[in-house]
Amino acid sequence: MSNYKTALVGLAFTALAALSPVSQATTTLTLSSWLPPSHFVNTDILQPWMQRVSEVTDGRVKIEVLPKPAGTPVRHWELARKGVADITWGNFTYEPERFRHIWFAELPMMGSNTEATSVALWRTYEKYLSENPAFSGVVMLGVGLLGGGQFHHPSKAVVSPGDLQGQKVRMGGPIQKRIIEDLGAVPVSAPGTRAYELLEGGVIDASLHGLESVVNFKLDGKLRYTTIVPNALYDATAFIVINERKFKTLSAEDQKAILEVSGEALSRAWGQVFDQQMAAAEKQLRANGHQFSDPNAELLAQIEAIRANMLQELQEVGPSIGVANYQEMVQFYEDQYKILSQ
């Protein structure tokens, strides 16, 4: 009888321990970010989201940022897919051929409200691309746009096609390259962070950036003229992903909780932060005497023609990348953007 009672007491303590929050195992996920810790993507987007993940899982899942990036920015999709880091973020633009599915969101005049473009892209991904093999091996946690880019010049306003003829323009990615070439300028491929030295050395005459990059890369002393193309000259797309195998090791309860604070919610938060950054940058630039101009009708018509040609080419290539009707997908995105930006 004594042994029986002892066993019952032992079982009771075991049950209490199992119910205790202190005894519950904590899963720590690693996150690789290639920007400095003080950058707003880390402080204003990723860190608040990481805190929400901890809260909604009652501390069972925590995310820790690695002390240094697990690889170059270009490799961050693969780093998550292969499980080198559990969670990564990066730009689809860094692997353009792999992700031609997403190109439509980077074309001219697709939208300048970044909250709306980011949520529209999430909804489009969910409806048309979530089962596409190009995105396998990871679970998409969020997507976002970077706020739209424009022409920036150190010494003149770019308002007509003639203002661009023969000008050497820094850019990144095939869509920006195509825009510059079709407008009669000379593309120079380089990261935005190198724009200052390229301008200083006379390697480039102008550069493509979002307004926040002009300020955050400290280019406002060099690039004094900006041309505002309605709904942006171009944009860039970004992802936040987790390794699929790692995600599936979490309990069904925690998977559900994480997805509820990710997806559209995280994409919306991403867009809101970039909108804030763009608005603050424009306010600062205007206060400092920065010159803003509008493109004339001829330049606008040329940009619209480039957009139409690229959309037609994407429609033709759609079936080969698993998108049966690319035009339908683009129309859905544009419809969502109109609803969200009202």
Q: Which residues span the domain enclosing 174?
A: 150-234+280-340
What's the confidence (pLDDT) of residue 22?
Answer: 43
Lowest mean per-residue pLDDT among 22-26, 79-83, 180-184, 307-311: 22-26
274, 290: one domain? no
Tell me, yes or no, whether 175 and 213 share the same domain.
Answer: yes
Residue range 288-302, pLDDT digits in tens: 999 999 999 999 999
Whether residue 121 is found in the same domain as residue 181? no
For residue range 185-198, what is the model confidence (pLDDT) as tens digits? Answer: 999 999 998 999 99
123 and 164 part of one domain: no
Are 136 and 217 in the same domain? no
- Whether the per-residue pLDDT at 3 is higher than 80: the answer is no
pLDDT at residue 8, as a whole number: 46
- What six digits make up the tokens of 296? 């004339």
Q: What is the pLDDT of residue 19?
A: 45
pLDDT in tens, 209-224: 999 999 999 999 999 9
Give the residue with greater pLDDT, 24 vs 297: 297
Contact between 127 and 134 under an 8 Å Cβ cutoff? The reply is: no
Split at pLDDT 50, 70, 90, the class of 23 is: very low
315-318 long-range contacts (CB < 8 A, ≥24 apart) are: 317/100
Q: Does residue 338 come out as left (phi exceeding 0), alpha (psi in the -120 to 50 range) or beta?
A: alpha
- Among 310, 295, 305, 286, residue whose Cα is nearest residue 229: 295
Tell me how far apart the alpha carbons of residues 183 and 210 are, in angstroms, rounded to a whole number. 19
Same-domain pairing of 226 and 253: no
Q: Decide: 241 and 80 in contact? Cβ < 8 Å.
A: yes
**200 and 310 part of one domain:** yes
pLDDT score at 25:
85
Are residues 204 and 157 both part of a single domain? yes
Is there a single domain that holds both residue 44 and residue 177? no
CA 115 from centre of chain: 11
Mean pLDDT of 248-262: 98
Among the residue ranges 18-22, 59-63, 262-266, 295-299, the one predicted with the least confidence is 18-22
8 Å CB contact between 33 and 65:
yes
The two beta strands, 237-243 and 138-145, are antiparallel
Q: pLDDT digit string (tens) for 126-171? A: 999 999 999 999 999 999 999 999 999 999 999 999 999 999 999 9
The percentage of residues in the chain with a pLDDT greater than 70, rounded to a whole number, is 93
Of 6-15, 87-96, 144-153, 309-318, where does mean pLDDT reach its minimum? 6-15
Domain count, the chain: 2
User: Is residue 4 over pLDDT 70?
Assistant: no
Return the pLDDT at 121: 98
Last residue of some domain: 257, 278, 299?
Answer: 278
With vertex at residue 221, the alpha carbon angle to CA 219 and CA 225, rounded to the nearest 5 degrees, is 85
pLDDT, residue 331, reads: 98
Statement to judge: residues 318 and 248 lie in one domain: no
Identify the pLDDT of residue 20: 45
- The CATH number for 89's domain is 3.40.190.170
- What is the pLDDT at residue 17? 45
Q: What is the mean pLDDT of the chain?
A: 94
256 and 137 fall within a common domain:
yes
Whole-number pLDDT of residue 24: 63
Q: Taking the CA of residue 199 as centre, how many other CA atoms within 13 Å lie in the half-sphere pointing to its CB? A: 24
pLDDT category of residue 264 using cuts at 50, 70 and 90: very high
Domain co-membership, 134 together with 229: no
pTM assigned to the model:
0.92
